Amino acid sequence: MKICGLFFTLVLLVFGCTNPKTKPQPPNVNWTSFDEPPLYSECPQEDVTLNWACFAKSLQKRLDKKLATESKVLMSTADTLFITLKVDTIGKVSIVDYSQMKSAHMSSELVAALTTVIDALPLFHPAFKTNLEVPVEAQWTLPVAIHR
């Protein structure tokens, strides 16, 4: 009886150790067409393209208004500024990076005006990764025309 129990235990150990264990699949973190991008709360459009266009116009108007009130010369000529923005998981917008199309040096007054305008924006509805059911950070680059 002891030999039968020992044999049975050894068989269980052999089969238990040789069966491959299934590894859990990591979740898909790549952006898909089913995921929800961040939406600008002041633009009522649910269509993402219309919402982005509305946001770009709103940002351009706010920046133009801010630059019109500045008494200092910010740039000598018109230029395009590329702003990389990030919307975090609670919908707060922040500047990640910025660069100019032309090689002219960007003034600190322009950077301050841009930061003031971005900080005054209302919260976005954050991006949402649908397969994980969690809000995620989103980042994109937006061209803005600087008129002076």
pTM here is 0.69
Q: Please give the share of the chain, as a percent, with pLDDT higher than 90.
A: 7
Give me the CATH number covering residue 114.
3.30.1150
User: Which CA distances in Å does 146 have to 19, 54, 65, 102, 140?
Assistant: 65, 18, 11, 12, 19
Residue 28 is assigned to a structural domain of this protein: no
b/e code 76-92 from CB counts within 10 Å (16+ = b): eeebebebebebbeebe
User: Which CA distances in Å does 125 have to 37, 42, 87, 99?
Assistant: 8, 10, 9, 26
Which pLDDT does position 2 carry in this prediction?
73
Written as six digits, the tokens of 67 are 């630059």
By residue range, what is the domain housing residue 61?
Answer: 35-146
Residue 17 is assigned to a structural domain of this protein: no
Cα–Cα distance measured from residue 74 to residue 98, given in angstroms and rounded to the nearest whole number: 15
The C-alpha torsion from 135 through 136 and 141 to 144, rounded to 10°, is: 30
DSSP state of 72: S
Residue 3 is assigned to a structural domain of this protein: no
Query: What is the enclosing helix (H) or strand (E) of 55?
Result: helix 48-69
* pLDDT tens, residue by residue, 84-113: 999 999 999 999 988 876 655 667 777 888
Residue stretches of the chain with pLDDT short of 50: 73
Residue 114 is assigned to a structural domain of this protein: yes
Number of H helices, E strands in the chain: 3, 7
Total structural domains within the chain? 1
| C-beta of residue 38 within 8 angstroms of C-beta of residue 119 | no
